[in-house]
Amino acid sequence: AQKVTQAQTEISVVEKEDVTLDCVYETRDTTYYLFWYKQPPSGELVFLIRRNSFDEQNEISGRYSWNFQKSTSSFNFTITASQVVDSAVYFCALSGTGGFKTIFGAGTRLFVKA
Amino acid sequence: GAVVSQHPSRVICKSGTSVKIECRSLDFQATTMFWYRQFPKQSLMLMATSNEGSKATYEQGVEKDKFLINHASLTLSTLTVTSAHPEDSSFYICSARVALDGELFFGEGSRLTVL
């Protein structure tokens, strides 16, 4: 069975603070894909990143960075110098090889205050 | 990037009526699309996998007769909520992949309110 756990339900920070959103996953597949999506109040899901299980390189994209650690089954997401526009719900997701269905974590609601 | 379009974005209907939601892949062919449901302040729950030219595969606990899925072409999947009731009110989102191991693209979502 596959599972994605986002233990942080809500996080509140002040603008310019750094914030890390945690994601822990479970899967028996050796090949799998991990994703992060942002869902602003409008409801649309915005793709942020995809990482396959064979690529443990960390990635940085502007103020966003991701830390993939297979040893701890974690795929954490850090926003540096947060901004009010970062306020949204962030979902971590996992896609295995069984039909490539994608399951989502519960989401972390981020509030960035000015 | 690839675009998935959903229509309608919002629909309000009376209890007992049926509502159809369309999901189109605009610039690529999608042999497989996925339908999710999201309750307020909750995560996305996979309802079913829609396969072009064959029957959809439903997740456990999802009523096949309530949520009819049709994937008639490589660019269109439809979800019909039959005999809708207030408890069916939710945000429904479709998604599609360009390739099996590729990025999952999402539609804009359809907010259904059943009165």
Provide the pLDDT confidence category of residue B2 given band limits of 50, 70 and 90: low
Which three-class secondary structure state does DSSP give residue A28?
coil
Contacts with A, B 30-69, CB within 8 Å: 32, 34, 36, 41-46, 49, 57
Tens of pLDDT, residues A28-83: 988 898 999 999 988 888 889 989 898 888 889 999 999 999 999 999 999 999 99
Q: Is B2 helix (H, G, I), strand (E, B) or coil?
A: coil
Per CB-CB distance under 8 Å, the chain B contacts of A99 are 49, 57
Q: What does the pLDDT look like over B48-104, one tens digit per residue?
A: 998 888 889 999 999 999 999 998 888 999 999 999 999 999 999 999 877 666 677
Q: What is the DSSP string of B32-98?
A: EEEEEEE-TTS-EEEEEEEETTS--EEPTT--TTTEEEEEEETTEEEEEE-S--GGG-EEEEEEEES
Comparing CA positions, the residue from B85, B87, B86, B57 lying closest to residue B69 is: B57
The gap from C-alpha A46 to its chain's centroid, in whole angstroms, comes to 12
* B93:A45 CB<8 A: yes
